[in-house]
Amino acid sequence: MCGRFTLETTEDFYVRFGIANRLDALTPRYNIAPGTLVPVVVRQSPNRVVLMRWGLIPHWAKDAKAGYKMINARVETLTQRAAFRGLLRAHRCLVPASGFYEWKQEGRGKMPYYIHPKAGVFVAFAGLYDMWTSPEGEEIVTFTIITKDADPVVAAVHSRMPVILAREAEEAWLDPHLTRTEDVLALLAEPPSDELEAYPVSRRVNAARDDDPSLVQRA
């Protein structure tokens, strides 16, 4: 799964993802947890960055509690689950990240590991989003991160990982004209462009309230 990630934003962030607009505040995040607002990239002629809540609430859900169960979407069941099937055609997004955390069982406890591209560049997780309207009429845009079986580097820590799109697949993932399910799923099968590195970090990352650069330092 993917339960925490980082985004070390700089001005290069907007250039990297071809974003036309600017957010009022975009600060580095070192411990992004479910339920928080996250910068997400969508195609709105041209690309735009919008803040979405992490944890998908389907538009047909009766209440917001569904979001706590849908922070991730398994690539193997995307076409089987009603919450994700329709979103594959028209509600795809990029979730920018600098890296992510996974936990490895070591003895009686779990050790957090930070996993990031060796080149130190941004990556894009494949995401899906939806808009839910609360009973009070508030519109809330939420997203989920697609996951897959772990690649060799991550498999040494955890069995699952977020789908990191290949650089050349990012634009196609956002393309609203790409609607055939088999074509969309093929993008998720392309290997990522950047080699990953994993190393242990402080257990302070377990507390979502902690959010500072020391969290990604090697333990």
The structure's pTM equals: 0.95
Q: Amino acid identity of 110? A: K
Question: Domains in the chain, start-ordered, CATH in brackets?
Answer: 4-216 (3.90.1680.10)
Q: What does the pLDDT average to over 63-87?
A: 89
Closest CA relative to residue 132, chosen from 141, 145, 119, 122? 141
Q: Residues 219, 200: contact at Cβ < 8 Å?
A: yes
- The model's pLDDT over 123-179, given as tens digits with 9 standing for 90+, comes to 999 999 999 998 888 899 999 999 999 999 999 999 999 999 999 999 999 999 999
Whether the per-residue pLDDT at 45 is higher than 80: the answer is no
Q: What does the pLDDT average to over 4-26?
A: 90
Whether the per-residue pLDDT at 184 is higher than 90: the answer is yes
Confidence of residue 216 (pLDDT cuts 50, 70, 90): very high
Query: Is 102 known to be catalytic?
Result: yes
- The model's pLDDT over 83-125, given as tens digits with 9 standing for 90+, comes to 898 999 989 999 999 999 999 988 888 999 999 999 878 999 9
pLDDT of 160 reads 95
Query: Is 2 known to be catalytic?
Result: yes
Quote the tokens at residue 115: 């996993």
Residue in 8, 11, 93, 102 annotated catalytic: 102
Residue in 2, 11, 170, 197 annotated catalytic: 2
Q: What DSSP letter does each residue of 150-175 carry, written as one string?
A: PPHHHHTT-SEEE-B--HHHHHHHH-
